[in-house]
Amino acid sequence: MPDPLKQAPTAPLAPGGIAARARAAAAPPYLAGLNPEQREAVEALDGPVLVLAGAGTGKTRVLTTRIAHILSLGRARPAEILAVTFTNKAAREMKRRIGEMVGETVEGMPWLGTFHAIGVKILRRHAELVGLKTNFTILDTDDQIRLMKQLLEAENIDEKRWPARVLAGIIDGWKNRGLLPDQVKRGEAAAFADGRGIKLYAAYQARLKTLNAVDFGDLLLENIRLFREHAEVLRQYQQRFRFILVDEYQDTNVAQYLWLRLLGQSSSSPPPTEVGPARLRSLDEVAEPSLERGSAGGRSARVSGPGGGDSASTYAASPLPPASVSPHPGLPSAVRPSPSRGGWLQAVPS
């Protein structure tokens, strides 16, 4: 199988060549400071793109420039781009950088933010469809623990032996894997309070609904449920988001990945119920190396920026097609992530 990372860029820029100089002269100013690989990733607007490069080599710069490029070409309006970051600080920084490139247009980018911020926004709009009111509250960790203590007490479970904090961690883990109470395998719950973990999880979810509250894990979990149970709502967002871009894609957990995959499916593709935890149980599982699942059609760009460096760090920028997840078969071992980083993902057409 050819190694996509080793393929020549479609439009190699020969330094100093006449063609290169002509292209540089014609290029909008925001493209001028990019190296050829960065520029290729910015300009490849059709189909999924994964940018894989070391720390500090200019991946986020590619992402922000790509957004500027999409806006300046008129390929999408600001409200039609979903751009996800892991921190609010990163989202602010990204907005600032795009603003510098394209001016005030960026003010209207309502869907550039963290998974949580965007998750809350979608959930408030459709709260009643998942049993909440629009003004639902978001519990912090202390509230969450307090609530779990009450539930343990109600079940006559000794909190000293089975601490609420441990239960909170277990439930959070299930939520991060996109699992509702009825989707958790019995065996998995055996470890807590003699197998009562699932019952406690279900009771906790019911209590949250009564309180008109969610915890952080629910923000995406309830989004996923909303999208799965209300195809028309999902379709509305699929049609809205013409481009989906994700910084630090390698750090997405299963719930974040499922959420992205639902949104990235084309609205004419099979209903989202086909995409479920049965097929995608955990990130470890889907990230198992497999040579059969390659990068059929997806594009990869290796960005060598000013910093160099060989630690792996990835993100994907796309419109995401109905995607499967696969480690890149052609990835040289030097840039394989360490297991502690949780594997890495590539969006490829299924």
Ligand X SMILES: Nc1ncnc2c1ncn2[C@@H]1O[C@H](COP(=O)(O)OP(=O)(O)OP(=O)(O)O)[C@@H](O)[C@H]1O
Out of 30, 37, 38, 197, name the contact with ligand X by CB under 6 A: 38
- Tell me how far apart the alpha carbons of residues 83 and 85 are, in angstroms, rounded to a whole number: 7
- For residue 323, list its beta bridge partners: 349
In order, the DSSP letters of 181-245 are: GGGS-HHHHTTTGGGTHHHHHHHHHHHHHHTTEE-HHHHHHHHHHHHHH-HHHHHHHHHH-SEEE
Q: How many helices (H) and strands (E) does the chain have?
A: 14, 10
Contact status: 300 vs Mg ion (CB under 5 A)? no
Q: How far is the CB of 30 from Mg ion (least distance, A)?
A: 17
Q: Which of 23, 35, 282, 350 binds ligand X (CB under 6 A)?
A: 35
Contact between 304 and ligand X by CB under 6 A: the answer reads no
User: Residues 57, 176, 223, 238: which binds ligand X (CB under 6 A)?
Assistant: 57
Q: Smallest gap, in angstroms, from Cβ of residue 95 to ligand X?
A: 14
Binding Mg ion (rule: CB under 5 A), the pick from 38, 60, 300, 318 is 60
CB of 89 to ligand X, least distance (A): 12
How far apart, in Å, do the first and last CA atoms of the chain sit? 17
Tell me how far apart the alpha carbons of residues 31 and 62 are, in angstroms, rounded to a whole number: 10
Q: 276: how many CB neighbours lie within 10 A of its CB?
A: 14
Given ligand X, Mg ion, none, residue 217, with its beta carbon under 5 to 8 Å by kind, binds none
- In angstroms, give the least distance from the CB of 206 to ligand X: 40
Q: Which of 253, 256, 295, 313 binds ligand X (CB under 6 A)?
A: 313
Q: 222 vs 247, which CB is nearer to ligand X? A: 247
154 lies in the site for ligand X, by CB under 6 A: no
Closer by beta carbon to ligand X, 69 or else 175:
69
Q: Which of ligand X, Mg ion, none binds 57 (CB below 5-8 Å, type-dependent)?
A: ligand X
For residues 132, 135, 141, 145, the Cα torsion angle rounded to the nearest 10 degrees is -50
| Sign of CA pseudo-dihedral 85, 90, 92, 96 | negative
Out of ligand X, Mg ion, none, which partner does residue 55 contact, by CB within 5 to 8 A per kind?
Answer: ligand X
Complete edge-to-edge strand list for the sheet that includes strand 314-318: 112-114, 81-85, 243-246, 314-318, 49-52, 299-302
In whole angstroms, the minimum distance from the beta carbon of 90 to ligand X comes to 9
Minimum distance from CB of 166 to Mg ion (Å)? Answer: 34
Choose among ligand X, Mg ion, none what residue 277 binds, the Cβ cut-off being 5 to 8 Å by kind: none
- Calculate the alpha carbon distances from 79 to 110, 111, 240, 244 in Å: 6, 7, 8, 11
Q: Does 305 bind ligand X (CB under 6 A)?
A: yes
Contact positions vs Mg ion (CB under 5 A): 59-60
